[in-house]
Structure 1
Amino acid sequence: MYKIGVIGDKQSVLGFKAVGLDAFGCATKEEAKLTLREIAKADYAIIYIMEHLYAEIKDTVNEYNEMRLPAIIPIPGMKGTLGIGVQNIKKAVERAVGADILFNND
């Protein structure tokens, strides 16, 4: 059975642990990279990463973009959103449709 994991600062991931997700507290980007690589090899179908860490380890995240699993999804941390999740959705829709049909600023 597949699992769901959350990578972020220890304070932010505690709530996810309370609802049954596997939480991985990371203080540095090196720790986050190592954790991502380790759990990506395990049975994780979805890995949520706090946006601030996602931005710092984007090169490592990109290694998994073309793989079926795990799906690596940025989520806002306790300090709010950086807009990375919305940007990723916008890029995916643009690739699929061939044009920017979302959030058009005209």
Structure 2
Amino acid sequence: MTIAIVGEEKSILGFKALGVESFFVKEEKDIEAMASKIKEKEVGIIFLMQQTFEKFKSQFDFLFQQALPAVLVVPSAFATEKTNFLKETLERALGTDKINLS
């Protein structure tokens, strides 16, 4: 099982240099190509850059339908907007919006 990272090129280029399976996503067609390669390479963990996830949210639904690969949405070092990333992730994982992080 391997580890992969998915996102915009500027955010994940360094990971590719370290040998991490990297998938650059600019358009929807890139997600389709990535999906088949993830199965082929038996990816067990995917780090999905938050900006990319938010841009193509509905196209990434298939990643959350099964236990593997485990998908972790992580903020990009280049993110310019603040989000409720942790709260949204917990809500999705727990299936409830009754979470108070204050």
The TM-score normalised by the length of structure 1 is: 0.71
**Which residue is 2:52 aligned to?**
53
Shift of residue 27, structure 1, vs aligned partner? 2.5
Q: Is the 8 A contact 1:90 1:102 kept in 2?
A: no
5 Å-filtered alignment, 1:56-75, equals 56-75=55-74
Counterparts of 1:82 and 1:34, CA distance in 2: 28
5 Å-filtered alignment, 1:1-106, equals 2-31=1-30, 33-42=31-40, 43-80=42-79, 83=83, 85-86=85-86, 87-93=88-94, 95=95, 100-104=98-102
Query: Relative contact order (C-alpha < 8 Å, sep 6+): which is higher?
Result: 2
Q: Which runs of 5+ in 2 are unaligned?
A: none
Kindly report structure 1 stretches of 4+ aligned residues shifted beyond 6 Å.
none
Shift of residue 73, structure 1, vs aligned partner? 2.0
Change (3 A) 1:74 1:82: farther
Counterparts of 1:84 and 1:100, CA distance in 2: 14
Change (3 A) 1:63 1:35: same
Change (3 A) 1:9 1:64: closer
SS at structure 2 position matched to 1:5: strand
Q: Is the 8 A contact 1:51 1:84 kept in 2?
A: no
Shift of residue 75, structure 1, vs aligned partner? 1.6
Change (3 A) 1:11 1:90: same
Q: Is the 8 A contact 2:23 2:34 kept in 1?
A: no
Shift of residue 84, structure 1, vs aligned partner? 6.1
Change (3 A) 1:48 1:35: farther
The TM-score normalised by the length of structure 2 is: 0.73
Residue identity over aligned pairs, in percent, reads 21
Q: Is the 8 A contact 1:50 1:76 kept in 2?
A: yes
